[in-house]
Structure 1
Amino acid sequence: MKKAIYVTTMLLLTLALFAGCGSSSANEENKNETEASQVNRITVGFSQLGAESDWRNTNTESMQNAFTKEAGYNLIYKNGQQKQANQITAVRTFIQQDVDYIVLAPATETGWDTVLSEAKEANIPVILVDRRVDTADKSLYSCWVGSDFELEAKKLTAWIKNYTIKRGIAPGELHIVNIQGTMGSTAQIGRTRGLANAARENHWEIISETSGDFTEAKGREVMAALLKRFDNINVVYCENDNMAIGAIDAIESAGGHVGGDIMNGDIMVVSFDGVNKESLEYCKEGKISCIAECNPLHGPRVKALIEALESGNTPEKFNYVDEKIYSSIEDVISVVVDGEKYEVEKPE
């Protein structure tokens, strides 16, 4: 009996030993495969300027969805919290980590020459996304992908002009306030310039320009203050949807009415982006009269640029995205800007 027990025990130990060896071998093989896959992945350092708006959050998600491990990438993401100093620190950290590519969505246009020169010396290509940098040396970055912010403004102001003509509203009847985005950012510069040029050409009155920092809370605060200063505001030009939502809240809280009938007391609100569900619903209802789209889905576009660089190709320096214009008001069905016709679509 004892012998049978002994034999059985030895047999079980032997099987366990072989199973253990097999498991160790399999674990080692899996480890090697994991290490090999990590070595083969492309490491991308992404410095996002912050999370100030729905547009920015959607843009971040697009990048994270594009640069996954399954797609062959290691993504290192840093949120700059709207501070350029944080972004400069992030870029320097990426350089120290010897990433393969740096993707930068800069908070403002100026002040990047030094850190971008450091990236260039480290032979790390830099791809700018959404916003640009103001530098005399364009070799400090490989390429840029994003929106033509001044074109967005031209489309929106063309809509305003066509609308006023259709309604028989004289140019001098427009009293516009511009709630601007983060000062010095590419979006703010382009959208402010577009309005300023249209106002000069069409003899519109811009009675105030003030920054709302691209946030809903600041847009609400700024609009409330403007309503106390001026009693003749009838057009609010918001440089993004979040500020427009805040502005509408302030107008309605003060007893005002938003809409397109400005000759009968409405305050017309127009904005940019078209990614916020609430703003699109407001556009359907007519609370926001018109939205110039700003497409945030740059992840696949940046990925395509990296793939082109990996293949030894040289992509275009500036890569613009196509964008739409939305309105539920049927007075204007299309606008023409710089000889190009853009259909005005109803928000879905």
Structure 2
Amino acid sequence: MTITRRAMLGGTLGLVAGGLTGCATADASGSLISVGFAQTGAESTWRAANTASLRKALSRRNGFELMFIDSQGRQENEIAAVRSFVTRGVDVIVLAPMVEGGWRDVLEEARQAHIPVVLEDRGIDASGSSLYVSRVGDDFRHEGALAAEWVVATSDPATRIVELLGTTGSSAALERSAGFDEVIAGHGFTVLDAQDAGFTRAGGKEVMAAFLQKHGDDIQLLFAQNDDMGLGAIQAIRAAGLEPGHDIRIVTIDGTRDALVELIAGRLNHVVQCNPMLGPQVASVVRAVHSGRPVKREYIATDRVFDTRAAKEVLATWPY
């Protein structure tokens, strides 16, 4: 197998069953629990659904006073947001880290202020692992593996692949790559190219257009690490006079409504879910941490895979 990919690292996340439960009330004193939530940005349909889930769960009605900051896709903005929460003296900080590294100093500031930190969605590297109490998210490595299992099961070993990668340095991109690589290794596939497209639709269109210009008809299959990049790639493939889903088969990760529509239409071939509806579990963890109750190190959401039939079965009631 030939792989032209930048070196990537990824750690295995432990799967944790079960979750915390808690009533939708304020703390024991009757006061609202103040929460600072630093979100990475609004780069994708998945992210919009994730933000909406957190906002709803951490609402005043549910006993929280939420301070939300959209970091607009810049880690320096996220670090500044966390520092502002420390200055304000919130009860708990919820952080959706854009990338794995670079968090030790600011999380140490939160620790010194006795403010617990809960990670939401992505993870951070080992240098800051002792500075947060719990993570609520998805198993990105498993998602990459699920995408690869479909490739192995449905593809000729001589299949030539290109990949649209997520944000460089993010745990989602690193671990999806690791899971995908582990499964396709030894099956004879050739990865022609792999580039960061930023988890955005515009990025997916731009990078896929460049792939098509560089590799042309050699491309037989696309692995897009999220739906939005895959949906952008569809536009580039059609602009090149090719039929997405037929001339170039496509597997993506997220499970958004837009992707399920394209799957039913035959322009995507397989979709792996990454569940964004993490708000209720985050709220339960925040409430437990604030009250001094123990929490698990990780709470992993349940994901599923979609073919055309499965997409048709859920589309009418799909929440994001």
TM-score bracket, shorter-length normalisation: 0.7 to 0.9
Q: Is the 8 A contact 2:95 2:117 kept in 1?
A: yes
What residue identity is the alignment partner of 2:178? R
* CA displacement at 1:202 relative to structure 2: 1.5
Instruction: Decide which of 197, 222, 226 is 1:240's aligned counterpart.
Output: 226
How far apart, CA to CA, are the structure 2 residues paired with 1:135 and 1:193?
17
Q: In structure 2, do the counterparts of structure 1 residues 270 and 127 end up closer, same or farther at CA, with 3 Å as the change threshold?
A: same
Q: How does 1:332-343 map to 2 (within 5 A)?
A: none
Q: Is the 8 A contact 1:80 1:86 kept in 2?
A: yes
Q: Indicate the residue corresponding to 2:11 in structure 1.
A: none
How far apart, CA to CA, are the structure 2 residues paired with 1:152 and 1:300?
22
Q: How does 1:125-204 map to 2 (within 5 A)?
A: 125-164=116-155, 169=156, 171-172=157-158, 174-204=159-189
1:40 and 2:9 matched: no
Q: Is the 8 A contact 2:40 2:78 kept in 1?
A: yes
How far apart, CA to CA, are the structure 2 residues paired with 1:137 and 1:269?
36
Q: Indicate the residue corresponding to 1:95 in structure 2.
A: 86
Aligned residue pairs total: 288
1:282 and 2:262 matched: yes
Tell me the SS of whatever aligns to 2:127: coil
Q: Indicate the residue corresponding to 2:241 in structure 1.
A: 255
Instruction: Decide which of 186, 197, 202 is 1:212's aligned counterpart.
Output: 197
* CA displacement at 1:309 relative to structure 2: 2.0
How far apart, CA to CA, are the structure 1 residues paired with 2:146 and 2:181?
13
Q: Is the 8 A contact 1:324 1:344 kept in 2?
A: no
* CA displacement at 1:38 relative to structure 2: 11
* CA displacement at 1:138 relative to structure 2: 2.7
Q: Indicate the residue corresponding to 2:13 in structure 1.
A: none
More displaced, 310-319 or 99-108?
310-319
Q: Indicate the residue corresponding to 2:213 in structure 1.
A: 228
Q: With the length of structure 1 as denominator, give the TM-score of the two structures.
A: 0.79
Q: Indicate the residue corresponding to 1:326 in structure 2.
A: 306
Residues 227-274 of structure 1: CA distance to partner in whole angstroms, max 9, x if unpaired? 0100210101001111111100100011001125xxxxx200110001
How far apart, CA to CA, are the structure 2 residues paired with 1:288 and 1:308?
41
Instruction: Decide which of 34, 37, 58 is 1:67's aligned counterpart.
Output: 58
How far apart, CA to CA, are the structure 1 residues paired with 2:126 and 2:84?
22
What residue identity is the alignment partner of 1:42? I
Tell me the SS of whatever aligns to 2:67: strand
How far apart, CA to CA, are the structure 2 residues paired with 1:225 and 1:154?
26
Q: Indicate the residue corresponding to 1:317 in structure 2.
A: 297
* CA displacement at 1:108 relative to structure 2: 0.3
How far apart, CA to CA, are the structure 1 residues paired with 2:34 and 2:59?
10
Residues 91-128 of structure 1: CA distance to partner in whole angstroms, max 9, x if unpaired? 00000000000000011000000000000000000000
How far apart, CA to CA, are the structure 1 residues paired with 2:39 and 2:76?
12
How far apart, CA to CA, are the structure 2 residues paired with 1:345 and 1:314?
41
Q: Indicate the residue corresponding to 2:18 in structure 1.
A: none
Q: In structure 2, do the counterparts of structure 1 residues 236 and 60 end up closer, same or farther at CA, with 3 Å as the change threshold?
A: same
Q: Indicate the residue corresponding to 2:3 in structure 1.
A: none
Tell me the SS of whatever aligns to 1:202: coil
Residues 182-232 of structure 1: CA distance to partner in whole angstroms, max 9, x if unpaired? 011011001111222233231211000101100001110111111010021
Identity of aligned residues (%): 36
Tell me the SS of whatever aligns to 1:70: helix
Superposed structure 1 runs of 4+ greater than 6 Å apart: none
* CA displacement at 1:159 relative to structure 2: 1.3
Tell me the SS of whatever aligns to 1:131: coil
Higher RCO, 1 vs 2 (CA within 8 Å, ≥6 residues apart)? 2
Q: Indicate the residue corresponding to 2:111 in structure 1.
A: 120
Unaligned residue ranges in structure 2 (runs of 5+): 1-27, 316-320
Tell me the SS of whatever aligns to 2:250: strand
How far apart, CA to CA, are the structure 2 residues paired with 1:344 and 1:96?
46
How far apart, CA to CA, are the structure 1 residues paired with 2:128 and 2:225?
29
* CA displacement at 1:306 relative to structure 2: 1.5
What residue identity is the alignment partner of 2:176? R
Tell me the SS of whatever aligns to 2:251: strand
